[in-house]
Structures are given as C-alpha cells and as structure tokens.
Amino acid sequence: FADIGSFAVHGSSPGTDFLMGDVSATVDYAHSVVRALKGDLTSRYYFCIGPFLNRQERERLCHLVDSNYDGKSTDFKLHMSMSKLIDMTSASSVSKLLDTFGDDLHDIVLRRVQEHGRCIDFHIDCSKRTMQIPLNEETEYKGARLV
C-alpha cells in the first residue's frame, strides 16, 4: 500500500513547497524534484480525458464509500474487487477503463479524503501504473491531482 501515499505535513520533502502553493512550477524545478527522489527523467506520464464513469456511476461509488466510512479517518481507503466495480458501474464503463489502463490490475481502491493543509508528498511508485479518477465534481474539492 506504499504506492498510494499518505497525507501529512511533509515539510522538508522534495517538492512540498510546490504542492502547498508556495512556489511556481518550472521545468528546472520539476527536474530538481525528480533528481532529489532519484527518479527517472525519461519516465512517461499520460493524461486521459474522460469521462470514464458517468455521473450516476460516480454517485453510486461515492455512496458505497460513504456507507463503509468509519466516521473517523481523514483518509479512508476502501478496497474493492473487479466484480464489485462492474456491479457498481457497468461492464461498458469498466471496459473503457481497462482499454485505457490495461487489464493487469492489482488493486482497486476508493479513497475518501478530508485533509486540509496536508498533501501526499512526491514519491516513486512501485507500481508500473496508477490511475486516478475523481468521483466528485472538480468544484467540490481543491488539489487531488496527479502531478
């Protein structure tokens, strides 16, 4: 579960000043963060425009997370199976996800976050790929972007 990151105050972690809005992003700055993390400057990043899930499917997933939420955690994670994802959305939507992401999935995690003034620090994923699909409308939250 190390890949998914954790919200905290990461004061001296490389790039935290950018994540907290204290500095502007430049190519040189991004390269310095990657070098500090001993990352690969030739790695690729893909940004795909959805929607992968329609509004009703996203709302069903939000309801599922809320109904399983422990009421305490500011960063609640709910693991789900592929069959549960299909049940909560549709075979067609999951097919679109797999066409984009690939079918070599190890974890499907729904995340409910209520953090303020904290961030997930820049880190090197152990996973070959990470897909993030916001379930809320972008006007309902601040942050939460893969960079």
Q: Which helix (H) or strand (E) holds 145?
A: none
Question: How many residues are there in the chain?
Answer: 147
Res 67: pLDDT = 95
Per DSSP, the three-state class of 8 is strand
Beta bridge partners of 112: 76
**What residues of the chain score a pLDDT lower than 70?**
1-11, 115-125, 141-147
Chain Cα centroid distance, residue 80: 15
Q: What is the secondary structure of 48-82 as a DSSP string?
A: ----SS-HHHHHHHHHHHHHH--SS-SEEEEE--H
The pTM of this model reads 0.73
Q: Looking at residue 139, what is its pLDDT?
A: 75
What is the DSSP track for 87-131?
HHS-HHHHHHHHHHH-S-----EEEEE--SS-EEPP---SSS---
